[in-house]
Every structure is written in structure tokens, then in C-alpha cells.
Structure 1
């Protein structure tokens, strides 16, 4: 027994996963347009809907008109690795990481591409490496927002205005929630399943004119699988960036992404999405700061995300537990609340320190976060009583 009362109100939408994330409020299957389903993606309607998804993406994100936007297979991973495989290797490169997905890009660069002139910058969960040390002539691969650590970059000052290298930016858990500095970004990638709450398996690749020039002027020494081949006849295949995808896309997933984009546009576009994420994250971070047995995984407030807020446990009770038992605390809380239908999929990432991670992107409602908090407090009290 504990002295913490069972909360009365439950989140109406208990979806706090960091990917795939919560659907937009009011989402339902009957809101999806179905005319393109069962049709070839090369049909007139198929190409029109794919192009519409690209055009809506450009409009909402404010992507410059001379940048190209393409739909890629393999979610954010496919889009990011396509950029790495087609653009890296011409000169020195730096890959920077501060959480698990960024470390995948390090392994790609070091063990798969085996780049000869490679610098690796990494940092522990909750920290950033010294990005200011990156030379202006290096290609840069970095993750704008650390999905599994809750760390985001504070700015793009580490990218030189007069750089000769290209930048490859994994923006999947930041885009639509944090402003992108487009003049500093040459290849930007994200997946539909993250901030917009859409379906998985498809990614977006946004290329600057500098990125296009690199692709057209450079042929890497390694083989390129078909899914990464962006050139035709030695030039960029621009049809890919008009909706002619490299392989067959899901038109149902495309319609779902379009519905999410149209929802975002209806509520005020990108400024509204930013405001919603900021307000949601503030609810969680203020509570974490006021709770003595919790600590934000990120010490520096300037580096704290407004999407996947990650927090760890502390205090006299927790500190006296052995490491194996400490690791069970967040798992027990997440499992308890999932069984009750209160909150789904908010345990910390498997490679991260024992933690909880609550998605605060714009498709989540403030009221649901406010209702979640007392349930976490209640569940923690149950776990504490069990382990005491």
C-alpha cells in the first residue's frame, strides 16, 4: 500500500511513443482519401498524390524553392544512408553522435564505407561533443535532435558559412517541431512516422543545390544498391523529386502522411506545430524539475529537446538500489501503465541509461500530458513500495 491516491483521469489518447508517434488529434481512417489505393503509383492519380505530398512538405517546412524534396524507401534510415552512400568519400568527413542512432551513422562511415579521412565526435547520453572543432572543409553528418537522449543542438554556428564540405542532417525527431536553418543544410532527412505521427517505411530526402552539385560531380568508389541510385545518365534523376519514387511506395501511407500535413496546415502550419511541441515539453520539463526523484537526462536547458523528453531517476531510495534493480524501475512503471491502458511505449530506449521517454511533439495534446504525470507518480510509488 502507498499514500499516493490512484488518479481519477486517464489520458484520452495514451500514445506517448517516440516513433511511430501519436496520430494527429481527430484522426480516423475515414478521413483518408482512397482514390489512389489499388492504383499504380505511376498512374496519373498516383503521381499527383505523391507530388502533392512533396509540395505540402515544402509549403509547411518553408523549404527553399531551389531545394529538391524526394520520397525515399526505408524511412529516415534509408534516406540518411542514401545521402551518405552517394555524397561521402570525396574529402574529409566528420560524423558526430550523442545517442544511439547517431552512432549507427558512425558505424556506417567507419565500418561500411570505411572512409579514409574520418573524424568521429561522440558524447555520452545527455551531452554534446565539441562541434566547434569541425573544420570547414569537412563533410558533416549529424543528428539535429537525439531521439534516444533528448539532446538537440542549440544552433548551427558550428557549420561554417564558407564551408567546402557538405552537411548531412538527420532531422527526423526535430523537423516540424524545431526550426531548420536551411542555408546550413545540404541533405536533410526525416521519416513520416516521427513528428507528424504518420506511418513508417517512407523517408524524405531534401537536397540543397550544393548537395546536387556534389552528387552530379562525384562518383563514389563503392557499389550503390538500386535504392540509393539518384543519378541517371550522370545527372541527378530529378523525376525522383517530382514523385517518381525509386521503388513502389505505399499509397495508403502516402494518404496518411498527406492527412497529417493537411491537419498541421489547418491549425496554423509550422508556427503552430512549434508552439504545440514547446508547450508540451514545458509541461514535462517543469514537472521533472519540480520532482526530487527525477532528473532530466540533459543537464543544459539550452540543449533539451521539445519532442522526446528523456528523464532518469535519482534520490536516496533509487541510489541505494543495485544496478540491475535500478534498470527495472522505469520498465516496471511503463509496463504497469501500459497494462492499465494509461500510457503506451514510453520506456527509455534499450541502449540508453534506465529512463522514461515521453513524446511531446505537436500531435500530442497538453491535457493528456497533464493527466499522464500523476499516473507516473502513482506507479513510481507502487514500484518503490514493492522494492523497499
Structure 2
């Protein structure tokens, strides 16, 4: 028998023998990657309700929308050169507004390393029928950012929600770029210090790092994006909810609280609560610190556990919010994808039945594994309490 054989046998024994059920549960077992956990201390009775039942165009309604926009700008340290608007359709709606309104003026490059990036490729190539260059890499890796052709418009995700891989910084985006940088940053905004001078279009939704409600997106436009909108008319018709110009000029009202369609004032009040909570945490850097601490706590458990690994190969590009994990090679040896997915489903079901963790299964298009949200609205103590429960659920499922 080789030296490695006893170790392999021990690992197999460990898989068959489930540990005792942990004594301590996460106080808030909410680890979904969207909608994400509410901030600590959140309760529905704490929301302001004066704007409910009022028109979003009323003085009160509009003032609450503008307040949400102003606090967002303050926390994100958004420069005065960039416009911010609340738009329909969550992050997807915000991305689609940018793609349909701005692409086609020059060649495009689409970068994808997870399922949402793949979705934007489909929309641009198959729906808009733009002959774009498509640059892809597998789950867990980034493509070669340095090889990007900046004579083209570039569409990319800052933080791949379904792969747990994020770009490390904005150094690869040149100041003298000819094309636009269009960034889906929905799992990165409020968890990273974004280089606004490098980003012409940024989109996100409230349901991610802020723990807000779904259905509303945020669209941020830099000066170069506004210039594109005012100088270019796409060859295809634009639905009303995508239109940002009138008579060749930007509709400024969109970025002054005059939303394209009727927003949920309850969702607006909910995100105001989260934004004001964020200010109390120290603003942007306080939120980043919380996410970093959560990701570090989960990483410490991963490093001490032999049956699980990070999906993201390079530690420098691992997300600090949507942390994606895969099974160790010895676990999946002899298991086809269907069997691996069944194992994931059983682990998630065991945890939910115990109210120890909700919604930890990996995304349906990603390699079989787990996905743990580590954004700022999660408490580090709950991440630390989660590890033993993951271990218990895995071994119980394999038993």
C-alpha cells in the first residue's frame, strides 16, 4: 500500500461518520446571495411609512426617492461628474438599459466568467445581433484582463455572483480608452472601493450588499456614457423603460428622482433604512471591512476542512460577498454531475430543516457546490457558527 492510501481510507471513513449536531446555530441563518440578509437590527416596524400610499411624484414621495439617491452617492463617494438614477427591473433592467441604448456605436467586447456575464453575451450577440468579440473563462478563473482591446466598448461583471470571482481592481482599465467600460457591479458595489474614473456605466440592485428588496435597479452614468447617449441613436427600437434621451438630450429627470415608472415606496423606505444603517457602520469602508471579515472567517473554515475548496482559483480574485465553494476531488470521484447536485440539494435541505442556514446551494448553472453570502449585512459570528453546521450537513448527507 502506498503512503497516500491510508490517508485516502481515513478520508473515506470520515465521510461515512457524521459528527454530532452542533450546539450553536447562526443567530440569523440568512446566507442567500439575493435577496440577501437584512442588516442587523432591521425590522419592518422600523421603516418610515409616511410615503406609503402617496404618489412617487408627490413632494413627499419624490423627496424620499431623492434622499435614497443622495445617501447612496455619499456612501459610494460618487463624484459629481457621475449621474445616478433608480430604474426598473433590478440590476438586469439597469444593465439592459445600458446595452440597448449605448452599444452598436463601435465594436464591442463581451467578457464572461460566470452565468450573468454569459447572459449579457446572449443579449448582445443573439438579441441585438452585434458582432462582438466574446472573451470567456471557466468558472473560478478570470480571462486575461491585460489583453483587452479598449478600442471597443467593454461589458463585464465586477464581481461574478455565481462564480465567486471578481476583478482585483481597475488598474487594467486605461484612462485613454476609446470604448466605454460598462460594468455590472451588483455584488461588488458597497463591498469594494470602485474606481469611478475608470467606469463609464455601473449597475447594481438594492437586494445585494444592502439587503434591500428586489425589482429596483440603480444606473450610474459617467460623462463618457452621457456623451454616447446624446450622440448616438441605436438602429433598433427602444422600449419606453429603456429610453434615456429625448430630442438628442439626456432626460435629466431620471437622475433627479423622476423615475421612469412607478417605484415601490415601501422598497424605497426599506433601502433608506439600510443606507442609514450603513452610515452608522462607517459608510463604505465600514461595509467593506464587514464583508472582508466575513469572507476571512469563511476562508478559515475552508482551509481547515478537507472536503471543500474555493471555486475561485486565485485568492486575489476571490469575492468577499458571494463566496462560491466546490467539493474536493476525492469527494466527487465516481459521482456524475446529477449525483453531485443531489448531494448539494440534500445538504441545503438538511440545513434549512434545522433553521441553521437558508439558501446555500450553488447557482444552478455553476459547478455543483455551495454558495455563502458574506456581504456586510451578515454578522461574522454567524459565519463562524455556520462552519460546523456545514460539516455536519455534508457528512450526514453522505452517510
TM-score range, shorter chain: over 0.9
Specify the SS of the correspondent of 1:306.
coil
For residues 126-178 of structure 1, give each alpha carbon's deviation from its aligned partner in whole angstroms, at most 9, with x where no partner exists.
01112222222110100000000000001223322101111110000011011
- The structural deviation recorded for 1:290 is 2.0
2:340 counterpart residue number: 326
Specify the SS of the correspondent of 1:72.
strand
Specify the SS of the correspondent of 1:57.
helix
1:235 counterpart residue number: 249
- The structural deviation recorded for 1:22 is 0.1
Q: How does 1:104-123 map to 2 (within 5 A)?
A: 104-116=119-131, 118-123=132-137
Specify the SS of the correspondent of 2:166.
coil
Specify which of 174, 178, 201 is matched with residue 192 of structure 2: 178
- The structural deviation recorded for 1:185 is 0.3
Q: How does 1:134-283 map to 2 (within 5 A)?
A: 134-283=148-297
For residues 170-207 of structure 1, give each alpha carbon's deviation from its aligned partner in whole angstroms, at most 9, with x where no partner exists.
00001101110100000100000011000000000000
Specify the SS of the correspondent of 2:42.
coil
Give yes or no for contact 1:177–1:306 (8 Å, CA) kept in 2.
yes
- The structural deviation recorded for 1:328 is 1.5
Specify which of 78, 93, 99 is matched with residue 63 of structure 1: 78
In structure 2, relative to structure 1, the CA distance for the partners of 1:29 and 1:119 (3 Å cut) is same
The yes-or-no answer on 1:98 pairing with 2:89 is: no
2:387 counterpart residue number: 373
2:44 counterpart residue number: 29
Specify the SS of the correspondent of 1:310.
strand
Specify which of 16, 19, 38 is matched with residue 4 of structure 1: 19
Specify the SS of the correspondent of 2:375.
coil
- Which deviates more from structure 2 when the two are superposed, residues 127-136 or residues 213-222? 127-136
2:11 counterpart residue number: none
The yes-or-no answer on 1:342 pairing with 2:330 is: no
Specify the SS of the correspondent of 2:86.
strand
For residues 39-67 of structure 1, give each alpha carbon's deviation from its aligned partner in whole angstroms, at most 9, with x where no partner exists.
00000001101111110110000000111
Specify which of 56, 80, 83 is matched with residue 95 of structure 2: 80
Q: Scaled by the length of structure 1, what TM-score is found?
A: 0.97
Aligned equivalents of 1:11, 1:47: Cα separation in 2: 39
Q: Which 4+ stretches in 1 moved above 4 angstroms?
A: none
Number of residue pairs matched by the alignment: 384
RMSD: 1.1
2:147 counterpart residue number: 133
Aligned equivalents of 1:322, 1:64: Cα separation in 2: 50
Q: Scaled by the length of structure 2, what TM-score is found?
A: 0.94
| Runs of 5+ consecutive residues of structure 1 not aligned to the other structure | none
2:32 counterpart residue number: 17
Give yes or no for contact 1:292–1:315 (8 Å, CA) kept in 2.
no
Aligned equivalents of 2:29, 2:321: Cα separation in 1: 16
Give yes or no for contact 2:337–2:368 (8 Å, CA) kept in 1.
no
- The structural deviation recorded for 1:285 is 1.3
Aligned equivalents of 1:105, 1:322: Cα separation in 2: 29
Give yes or no for contact 1:227–1:247 (8 Å, CA) kept in 2.
yes
Aligned equivalents of 1:320, 1:123: Cα separation in 2: 26
Aligned equivalents of 1:106, 1:315: Cα separation in 2: 31
Specify the SS of the correspondent of 1:373.
helix
For residues 259-290 of structure 1, give each alpha carbon's deviation from its aligned partner in whole angstroms, at most 9, with x where no partner exists.
10000001111110000000000011121122
For residues 321-376 of structure 1, give each alpha carbon's deviation from its aligned partner in whole angstroms, at most 9, with x where no partner exists.
34432222221111110111111111000011101000000000011111111011
1:300 counterpart residue number: 314
For residues 100-144 of structure 1, give each alpha carbon's deviation from its aligned partner in whole angstroms, at most 9, with x where no partner exists.
00101000110111113x110111100111222222211010000
Aligned equivalents of 2:110, 2:259: Cα separation in 1: 28
Aligned equivalents of 1:322, 1:79: Cα separation in 2: 37
Aligned equivalents of 2:99, 2:374: Cα separation in 1: 29
